[in-house]
Amino acid sequence: MSTQPTRFQETVIAPSILSANFARLGEEVDNVLAAGADWVHFDVMDNHYVPNLTIGPLVCEALRKHGVTAPIDVHLMVEPVDGLIPMFADAGASHISFHPEASKHVHRSVQLIKSKGCQAGLVFNPASSLDVLDTMLDEIDYVLLMSVNPGFGGQSFIPSALKQLRKVRAMIDASGRPIRLEIDGGVKPDNIGEIAKAGADTFVAGSAIFGKPDYAAVIAQMKQAVSAGRG
């Protein structure tokens, strides 16, 4: 097994449309991508696995028809997951992740995502065990760590997520594979540098971007802080 570090892939900023103005969503996504965002992040909640209800595949399809060509990163906070995977893939998702405990057969769900031509990721809540990565790390393209409890936007970053980031970063480095390490929850310009130092390379941010008048300034500040955090 290679021990060559795979960290410090190109930084990805993935604004969560959960915090966007849905009355003009196409324009909001156009603006945030023009401002330097790299991916578009979808927080899909079912009022079952988490206590909130958000968006479905039709929104993804609508953005593709609107002309969005950037990667669409779909985070499924739903249970079960297998029914929605092909629906989002067919609607234009490029990345699909899910929580292992929401699938009866994690490997099969990952293979379903891949069979649809999408990148596959696993998501872990702040208090979740990482044990499934012992068998699944070689099967996935990215790991998404939650730094808030899933279900609502605008929450504060949970500091213990830094410890989880370091653990997963060490596992990824040991694998020798170019697996992305994504973080979601309470990411802001004033903490993203420390988060990057702990090993993340892909950053989801909602209200920290969409809640500000100048998207480009916030995204530039974030990317500069990531570079500084990496040293």
Q: Is 153 annotated as a binding residue?
A: yes
Q: Is 94 annotated as a binding residue?
A: no
From the candidates 73, 141, 173, 184, which is the catalytic residue? Answer: 184
Q: What is d(CA 228, CA 98) in angstroms, rounded to the nearest whole number?
A: 31
With CA atoms as reference, report the closest residue to 129 among 85, 99, 155: 99
Q: Is 154 annotated as a binding residue?
A: yes
Q: Is 157 annotated as a binding residue?
A: no
Rounded to the nearest angstrom, the gap between the alpha carbon of residue 193 and the centroid of all alpha carbons in its chain is 17
Q: How far apart are the first and last CA of the chain?
A: 27
Q: Is 206 annotated as a binding residue?
A: yes
Q: What is d(CA 139, CA 150) in angstroms, rounded to the nearest whole number?
A: 24
Residue 184 annotated to the active site: yes
From the candidates 38, 43, 46, 201, which is the catalytic residue? Answer: 43
Q: What is d(CA 23, CA 163) in angstroms, rounded to the nearest whole number?
A: 38
Q: Is 211 annotated as a binding residue?
A: no
Q: Is 229 annotated as a binding residue?
A: no
Q: Is 92 annotated as a binding residue?
A: no
Residue 107, number of CB atoms within 10 A of its CB: 12
Q: Which pairs from 21-24 meet CB under 8 Å and 24+ separation?
A: 21/210
Q: Is 207 annotated as a binding residue?
A: yes
Residues 6+ apart with CB under 8 A from 24: none
Residue 73 annotated to the active site: no
Q: Is 46 annotated as a binding residue?
A: no
Q: What is d(CA 231, CA 221) in angstroms, rounded to the nearest whole number?
A: 16
Q: Is 75 annotated as a binding residue?
A: yes
Residue ranges of the binding site: 16, 41, 43, 75, 151-154, 184-186, 206-207
Residue ranges of the binding site for a divalent metal cation: 41, 43, 75, 184
Residue ranges of the binding site for substrate: 16, 75, 151-154, 184-186, 206-207
The residues assigned a catalytic role are 43, 184
